[in-house]
Structure 1
Amino acid sequence: MNVFARLKVGFGMARRSGHVLRASPKLLVFPLVGGLSGVAFLLTLFGGLIVGGSLLEEPGAALYGGLFIAYLVETFIASFFTAALIAATRDIFDGRQLSIRRSLSTAWDRKGPLLVWSIVAAIVGVVLRAIEGQDNIVAKIAAVVFAAAWSVMTYFVVPVIVFREPSVREMFEQSAATFKRTWGESIGAMGAINAVTFLLAVVGVAFAGGVFVVTAGLESIQLAATVTIGGAAILIGVLIGKALTGIAKTALYVYATEQAAPEYFGDIDFARLGADRAGSAHSIEPQGSSPENGRI
């Protein structure tokens, strides 16, 4: 499958993910709660840096220790609710009724591997922060390159944790192997979802701007209404983007590991997805029959 065909599949997956979300809007609960953890992370990180501003000049053990705790706690919470979203999505694919409680229970059952993943991610985050803080352009470039590679290698870590019982080494190996088999589709889906998220935010901000103009002269409500509408639009866009990402990622992982097109994705041509994986040390034996070829 050539690059453009794989990207086309990715865009098609983003569109089908939207169909899943429209059918099961309760999926937004998971990124909403996970998003709150992201806000807490920002408040913890930047609030701590502002209060201890002098530490920025000479970072020490206290600063990096605080960063490690912040990364660890927030990564675990975010990963936990992502795992619940993935579990809920898989239930939908399998024809089961979505249950928030059951999905949270599944995520809780994976708390051990999720904690291990969070510890590793926190260590990497602190190391990257330390490298980025160096007054050295080579170090900064190296940090950017490593961060990009790290994002690719860990893209499917949470699905691996949810659907398998991996060792620490296996969770990274299986994640990297899955991304290698689905890189074009993953990039296409991410690009389409990011575009949708951006457009939703732009439309919301534009509407907020219109409210600002219409309420000119009403100073008591002008600023509050504009900020509320603009902020709500951005929040909704981010929530939808995170939900779509989780759905598309789950669909890609299910097909890449089982060669069975999930519900809502049966008309996408997955036939050659990962066709070059034969003999791969990381390949996973399919657990279902290949779907018939379809069209995006």
Structure 2
Amino acid sequence: MAGRFSRGLQVVDDSIDVFRDNPRLALLPFLSLLATGSAFLVVLGVALRYGVIESVLGNDLLRYAGIFVAISVSSSVGTFFNAAVVHCASRYFDGEETSVRDGLAAAWRVRRKIALWSVTAATLGTVLYIIDEKFGVFGSLARTLFDLAWGLLTFFIVPVIVLEDTASLRTLLRESGDAFRETWGESVSASLGISFVFLPVSLVGVAGLAWAYFLGSGVLTYVIGAVGFVVLVGSMVAAQVVGAVARTALYRYAANGEKLGPCVGRDPETVFPTK
């Protein structure tokens, strides 16, 4: 098991090398965080200004609508900028020049597929929330199991949106599921490896923010709080880029047998053999 996991970490390490060669890609997930955060802050500000928070929370229909909108916004924005990273990574693997502007243009070209995917994710997320709320522990269990299955099925949904010429939701899901089945070992291992690398860094940032908020005083509070915030955001941005790079390489291997970037010199299924 240790050897298999170490091979997954090698994929993460190779993906970090790609990120190191293209540091400007960090701007894309940063813009995603900025856009999503700004949108929710505006909505929260309006809600506080007009005092409608209690009304929304006390009305099932309004609450469900709010959840649907929140998931739609976060999913569409996150998918859009991840799609830009996937496009840039794919061009880099092909030895072509790429840029942030090029990635954003590519994401804009598939905006309809992104919208379709986001509405689907929001609808499903809202339904699962209702099931969880209405059916107690059984609803929570059903939601957890379905979330896991859905996460595996849609593991490669962004590369499929960007790299495949199809607008059918059924085809998008089938292509993503097929790719995960072909590379499930490396996919799981790489995801765990990314968490293993970046989660401790994120926790350092959270610890800095927590210390500044609860225990700090004076100028040192602002310094440590600012450093903690930068570390936290930086780790989130880096994890997004590295994850997108790894998934792009794995998807192209699963779809076309191409060994690119992190897949060069290794077969994805050898990390966790399926037989």
Q: TM-score, normalised by structure 1?
A: 0.80
Cα deviation, residue 173, structure 1: 0.8
Identity %, equivalent residues: 28
Distance 1:161 1:24 in 2: 22
Shift of 1:223: 1.9
- How far apart in 2 are the matches of 1:130 and 1:120? 16
Deviation at 1:153? Answer: 0.9
* Whole-angstrom distance in 2 between the partners of 1:241 and 1:27: 12
Measure the CA separation in 2 of the matches of 1:134 and 1:275.
40
Does structure 1 retain, via aligned residues, the 8 Å contact 2:15–2:261? no
- Aligned residue in 2 for 1:245: 243
* Residue pair 2:204, 2:232 contacting (<8 A) in 1 also: no
Q: Partner amino acid for 2:74?
A: E
Counterpart in the other structure of 1:39: 37
Instruction: Give the superposition deviation at 1:21.
Output: 0.8
Matches within 5 A, 1:142-291: 142-166=142-166, 167-204=168-205, 219-263=217-261, 265-270=263-268
Where is the helix percentage greater, Structure 1 or Structure 2?
2
Kept in 1: contact 2:185–2:270 (CA 8 A): no
Q: Give the TM-score normalised by structure 2.
A: 0.86
* Cα deviations by residue, 1:237-277 (Å, 9 ceiling, x for unpaired): 1111111100101110011111121145423344869998x
Unmatched tracts of structure 1, length 5 or more: 277-296
Point out 4+ residue stretches in structure 1 off by more than 4 angstroms: 3-8, 40-51, 203-212, 270-276
Conservation of the 8 A alpha-carbon contact between 1:91 and 1:97: yes
Distance 1:242 1:274 in 2: 23
Give unpaired runs (5+ residues) of structure 2.
Answer: none
Q: Secondary structure at 2:266's aligned position in 1?
A: coil
Give the equivalent residue in structure 2 for 1:124.
Answer: 124
Q: Greater Rg, structure 1 or structure 2?
A: 1
CA RMSD of aligned residues (A): 3.0
What displacement does 1:74 show?
2.4
| 1:156, distance to aligned residue in structure 2 (A) | 0.7
- Partner residue, 1:102: 102
Task: Tell me how many residue pairs correspond in the alignment.
Answer: 269
Secondary structure of the 2:165 match is coil
Shift of the 226–71 alpha-carbon distance from structure 1 to 2, 3 Å rule, reads same
What SS does the corresponding residue of 2:218 show, helix, strand or coil?
Answer: helix
CA distance 1:195–1:7, change in 2 (3 Å) = closer
